[in-house]
Structure 1
Amino acid sequence: GEVEDFTDVEDEKYAKKVHGKDKIHNNYGYRYLIDEEKKINIRKVLDKELDREEKEGRFRTKVKPISAKKKVETEKQGIKLQQVSASQHAISNLKEKVIKRPEIKKVIELSEGVTIKELSERIGIPSNEILQVLFNMGEMLTINQPIDRDIVEILSQEFNFKYSIIDFDESIEEIFKDSDKDMVLRPPIVTVMGHVDHGKTTLLDAIRKANVVSSEAGGITQKIGAYQITYNNRKITFIDTPGHEAFTTMRARGAKVTDIAVIVVAADDGIMPQTVEAINHAKEANVPIIVAINKIDLPSSSPEKVKQGLTEYGLVSEEWGGDTVFVSISAKNKVNIDELLEMITLVADLHELKGNPDAEGSGIIIESKLDKSLGPLGSVLVRRGKIKVGDFFVTGNSYGRVRTIRDEYGSLINEATLSQPVEISGFTVVPQAGDRLFIVKNEKIAKDSVSKREYQKKLLKLSDIRRHVTLEDLAELSKESEIKKLKIILKAESNGSMDAVEKALRDIEEEDIKIDIIHKAVGAISDSDILLASASDAIVIGFGVIPTQKAKVVSKEEDIEVRTYDIIYKLIDEIKLAFKGLLEPKIEEHIKGSIEVREVFKISKVGYVAGCYIVDGEVERGDFVRVLRGEKVIFDGKISSLHRFKEDVKKVSAGYECGIRIENFQDINNGDILEIYEKKTVKQ
């Protein structure tokens, strides 16, 4: 019951004045707890303080000391005492003194950064009662202040409720949930995918030109990322960006845009790598597939051979006892285009695609740009309700008001309805593809929503939370039954290697963790692989291959783990250890430079020396080096010597030429690329 020591006498006076008694906790305002590695564990976030700290480029620890007397008493009890905030002591004490209350059996869904007022409404407990509990913990908050997960966890124990945290967009969708009686059939949204040069763009053009309404025939179609046609009095919307990359980019941002995937396969070329990639992307998104076998007008076409080949990927035609719709077409000669459209409407009917036409509107950004006259523009696909001129909206971390709406022909319209693609002006910043747009009642709600999103973003940034699964997570997640499958995207240098790795992975599956290889292919790890991993919460494994430069950039942006191996037992051992939670410290690679080999010299008693140009970055003697020939890694080793004008040098920077010798490697060729990197040990 003693008053703990204070570093500031005024603090003590203020505390006694506020509490009116001696039993107090010496914590006022915010505090952070920072460990030796500077990782931040948020106790409470105050936006104003966060902004100030971030501008200064550092975070301060504000912790009150614990009295010497109390320290001695605690150490006598055999407890290792650390210098932690009084707030943490209060939380610990509260856990021990939880008052048993009636259980709220329903699981309460809460958004990240929920306020006291919102929590009060969701659990049916008066806000002043919640504030009193927090006050006793030393947390002095207002009803409109957001609280973090730690505080929610303590309150859930105090008030005996179960909860789950959902992201901001999910929380809005929960509020806007429609009843079945409000739902009507809506037009399907279709994405066309397939291998390059198999006719995706030609098909989209053929569909558009064959179905332009007479009143719009003279108009010029605007490029807004999608268009809508009318077939047999039924509307169908087509995403006008063919390929699975755009499709998966939006999925990675949490946006489900597509209702039906049309996969185009050339009847003469057959199944190609991007065909398989497109199939896997569509399957992982759980989107129904229609196969359009194109170029049937060519003498070398073989539709039956294509059908036979696709059975290996689980696409079996209806005439062969399967459930996949196949249509043979010629996009160039406009053969069977109507039959394809008929199949699209039938598949749409089968899946009963519905939406509420009278609800508050929401949509998905599919394209965006900055116009000199109109400012930021966003192409939006309406997924729910209507979007009208004058509506306030929230998207990403910004809000705005709809100034103009244009259809795909550039005509100004007053409102957009279900599945309609339109271009909207009124954004304050250029939105990102895949961002969801929500109509809100007024500007105040819009501003509040953006504030909450920014708060959530800061929480994620400061709490060091990874957005996607990693190998290190496996043991912990399986204990919590939060993971049933380890999803893997597997890339290898050859089909033989890929089969060997896949077999080895199947052999180590455990009872509670299954391995699901959602995509496998020969070749370098591409940005498309990273996007699929992001959308599917998978990890990427490369065997004998490495990521492309673009893939490296995207993996950092999307926070996706990429692991590369050259020896199969190392790959298997790491996954086994990951299952058991015994992974050794991870070695992370950081690219230092890229070097082009322009000439090769043979020097007696030395061997081969590469005459090089440093394209970017730098190279130092002793650096790790990876030799790339095309997209294949042919050697991984170390720089043994570095020369400029016959002089030994320690380092050479971008824009200069130099001579390089690689330790234990003589097979260097003109045109080889040397990737210079360093290794850092990271605790797992």
Structure 2
Amino acid sequence: MHIRSPIVVMLGHVDHGKTTLLDTIRGTAVAAKEAGKITQMIGASYIRKEDITHMSAASGGRMKFDLKIPGLLFIDTPGHEAFTNLRDRGGSIADIAILVVDVMQGFQPQTLESVRILKQYKTPFVIAANKIDLINGWTDYPAASFIESYSKQPQFVKERLDDHIYGLMGKISEHGFDSERFDRIGDFSKQIAIIPVSAKTKEGLGELLMLIAGLSQKFLGEELEIDEMGRGRGSILEVKDEKGLGTTVDVILYDGLFRKNDEIIFLTQNGAKKTKIRALLEPNASGKEKYNYVDELVAAAGVKIVAPDLEGALPGSPVDAVTDFEENRAEIEKQFRNIIFEKKDELGVVLRADSLGSVEALVRLFEEAEVRIKSASTGKITRKEILMAEAVSADDRYYGAVLGFNVDVTEDARVEADAKKIPVIWSDIIYRLLENYNEWVKDTKEKEKSKAFKKMTWPGKIKLLAGCCFRVSKPAIFGVEVLGGKIRKGCRLMNAKGEVVGEVREMQREKEKVEEAERGTQLAISCDGIYYGKDVCEGNILYTYITKAEITQFESQPGLLSDEERLVFEEIKKLIVSSPFD
């Protein structure tokens, strides 16, 4: 059996230094003359174990074990988008991750996003507490080990750093992880290692690489063992159109080997597809040609595959050497159906994302939140998605939404969405998409509730003022004072026996028409159905008539009424319940 290099990916919040840290690691490896140069691959950078040993020794650190892994394969595109495309049948082909956190800023939205994804995929990780050089009072010791640099800092600087580290420990504990600064850990299988580093000064870099390599070797074990002559298995990072080559796929090969002329199988929107490898390409570091052509490649490696009929290949799709096409197709489409689907007779949101990995992560997230999904797929949002959501909305308003992650919305889709009042909810952060959807549901319910309450009759109690009858009927017009609650135009009025006597047509206060009047207000009202002097008289107390359905609604929402309104409500409820007229 052959031990392959662990596949390493960096995640973290924007501007926390993922790309800079990766560039620094690559640059340091290139500069290590004794160790030779870094190997550049398609979509990845390979750092040999000799480079790792050299960088650790150069920084004053000492390897406490004999490295058996050949090196580390770093994915060149940092971030959770790349990570979710490193798929392997519901899991991730990334063996270990570096969560990069700005030690000064701490956890930010995309940091939390990354933690959720790592937890979801059960991927081991360490935390690189970056930018220690920005701690007030910190003295730089370029390329030194963290331990050496830390030992030379004044006590107040050490305490400042420790405070920041404790902050990270507290935040990560909220997600169920115990953590500690790497040099204080007794059992790495129980705690997440935090390595303070500076991508700018290279402090702590050797220890970071040493830990990644050491932890991979110690805890991944058999997962890194492959048959180097076995069936090639990979994952599509990107689909690209290359001048002179046509549609190509950038692939991370994590098991076995690929050979020129191998038949491979991959996923499209329409299911599995087969083609034959025409060429395997690696970057050409020197010379005029952009790529080197190779006949075969063994895992772990990044490679560009040139083959016919790659149009429609999905980023995040597995790409495997074919052994038995029908059997391979059944296997690959089984997992495909769990991610890309449309449930014709079910209600749920319509979901579109930029890659298979993103769709998979979102489906998991929404299912955990018990949000139903009618359709999940990759690709832009078109008029078709809007019409699908419109049909859902007719049965369930709160599922009638289209959700997009990192995808474009076509112009005809925008026009249709505006016309049909279908919300298109978009985000470039996975968990934020769920938050945005939940916020829309909450806002929609509150607006509908507010609209419904405006139509409801509010508890109100009025007294007919003496000497203020202006018309006895058709309609009766007379003066009243609101004793409690409020009355609205259109409400029905009942007497103290619970008998409905009329309906408020208009209300006027100081010669101005009003829609409602609250406690303490004196005004004139016109009422249909009342004959003043017969049905009502001056000094009478009248109440707004509230239906039993409205009573139930008020009782289910006790916070809607003030204490004073609640007293009027209780009076009305007693009249309604005991009234022989209801």
Name which one, 1 or 2, has greater alpha-carbon Rg: 2
Structure 2 length-normalised TM: 0.49
Higher relative contact order (CA 8 A, sep 6+): 2
